[in-house]
A and B are shown apart, each in its own frame.
Chain A
Amino acid sequence: MRRRLEPYLWLLFSGGGVVAALTLPVLVLLFGVLMPLGVVAWPSAAHLRALVDAPLVRGAVVVALTLCLFHAAHRIRFTSEELLGLRRWDALVAVLCYGAAVAGGVTAITLLF
């Protein structure tokens, strides 16, 4: 049995797909559409800060956002290769996509901790 990287990337992609499906639509609906349009009032800054106050919550937010980014990175890698014919450059495309996801995860950590 030879180990390969692909199954681990796929697990991150799948996990991220589930997290993105369950959480992102409602969050973008609230923070991106309803609050800016004034349909729903913005929560107070103190309330928002309290929401991500517990270290456990912060950790969960970092993990969730990073998984979502890995999900997006995986799909963008394959789709760009299929749409633009970049199959030969897979190694480079992969490093750029997953690298961006890692960078996003690090950004989340610096913002929350």
Chain B
Amino acid sequence: MAAETIRLDVARYRPEEDAEPVLQSYEVPLRPDWAVLDGLAHIKDHLDGTLSFRWSCRMGICGSCGMDVDGEPRLTCGTFLAEYGAGPVRIEPLKGFPVIRDLVVDIDGFLAKLSSVRPWLVREGEEPPLTAEYAQTPAQLDAYKQYSMCINCMLCYSACPVYVLDPDFLGPAAIALAQRYNLDSRDMDDRFDVLNLEEAVWGCTFVGDCTRVCPKHVDPAEAIQRYKVTAALRSVLPWSGR
């Protein structure tokens, strides 16, 4: 009995020999429980050990296996080959990022943006003992919890035409994470000056695709629109809070 297979058209970019990415086709077994990432692992293990791609946890939490699957940014560990019928399935690196090799993209720009919004709890004027706790009510937790689900997989950047057309745009995940800390009752930072910029919230034209592709239902589009309202109110009413 011949096992069923599916064709994967995988973008290859070998900087030492390719001027631009080219598609290379591989036939891999089509199994109902195989994700796209399993297909890539099969290629690497059995067909072509030179293929490069990032992955780690295989359970949708590390955020490292994001790729462009048939034109949509997806986590390859959570996207099943069976979704694509008889195939073929086109697998390319995430759009909007420089490609280092094959399916591996350069995330340095993203990491710099992320740290620019200070995505951590900022406290001022205190030296708390190591045992100190900052208790929160369920309502205070609810205020930011959704935005804290972000796994930095960058699918939202790849889906965002504003970012893809203008790599200086601060982008969905960084703004959503800034909001995650803005809305945290324990945080004392003011991120107004990094968010109230044309390259930050005002660059967003509310396409909404960041929210559509987010595997963790963070809803970055909502985070950005909410901060637009906050920043606009603060610009009109200097005394209004965040």
Q: A and B: real partners?
A: yes
Query: Chain A interface (Cβ within 8 Å of chain B)?
Result: 1-4, 6-8, 10-11, 14, 78-79, 82, 85, 87, 90
Bound Cα distance from A14 to B233, whole angstroms: 13
In the bound complex, residues from chain B placing their C-beta under 8 Å from that of A85 are 165
Instruction: Assess whether B127 is interfacial by the CB under 8 Å rule.
Output: no
Residue pair A10, B165 in contact (C-beta under 8 Å): no
Interfacial chain A residues near B197, Cβ < 8 Å: 4, 6
- Given contacts A1-B193, A6-B202, A10-B202, are A82 and B162 in contact (CB under 8 A)? yes
Q: How far is the CA of A14 from the CA of B238 in the complex (A)?
A: 20
Total contacts A to B, CB within 8 angstroms? Answer: 44
Q: Which residues of B contact A8 (CB under 8 A)?
A: 232, 235-236
The 6 closest A-B pairs by CB, nearest first: A6-B202, A7-B235, A7-B232, A78-B205, A11-B232, A7-B231
Separation of A11 and B234 alpha carbons in the complex (Å): 12
Interchain CB contact under 8 A, A6 and B205: no
**Nearest CB in chain B to that of A14: its residue:** B232
Q: Which residues of the other chain, B, contact A82 by a CB distance below 8 angstroms?
A: 161-162, 165, 205
Looking at B161, B234, B235, which has the most chain A CB atoms within 10 Å of its CB? B235
Known interface pairs A1-B234, A4-B235; A10-B228 also in contact (CB < 8 Å)? yes
B205 near A7: Cβ-Cβ < 8 Å = no
Contact of B235 among A3, A14, A78 (CB under 8 A): A3
- Chain B residues with Cβ under 8 A from A3's Cβ? 235
- How many angstroms between the C-alpha atoms of A55 and B229 in the bound complex? 32
Taking CB atoms, residues of chain A closer than 8 Å to B238 are: 1
Considering the complex, give the chain A residue whose CB is closest to the CB of B166: A87
| CB pair A1 B192 closer than 8 Å | yes
B198 within 8 A of A: yes
**B146 at interface (Cβ–Cβ under 8 A)?**
no
Query: Does any Cβ of A come within 8 Å of B190's Cβ?
Result: yes
Residue of B whose beta carbon sits closest to that of A88: B166
Known: A82-B165, A85-B165. A2 touches B193 (CB 8 A): yes
B154: shortest Cβ distance to chain A, in Å? 20
Give every chain B residue within 8 A of A6 (Cβ-Cβ). 196-198, 202
Q: Which residues of B contact A14 (CB under 8 A)?
A: 232
Bound complex: CA of A79 vs CA of B161, how far in Å? 11
Nearest chain-A residue to B196 (Cβ)?
A4
The CA-CA distance from A7 to B193 in the complex, in Å, is 12
Which residue of A is nearest B231, CB measured? A7
Task: Give the complex CA separation of A67 and B48 in angstroms.
Answer: 60
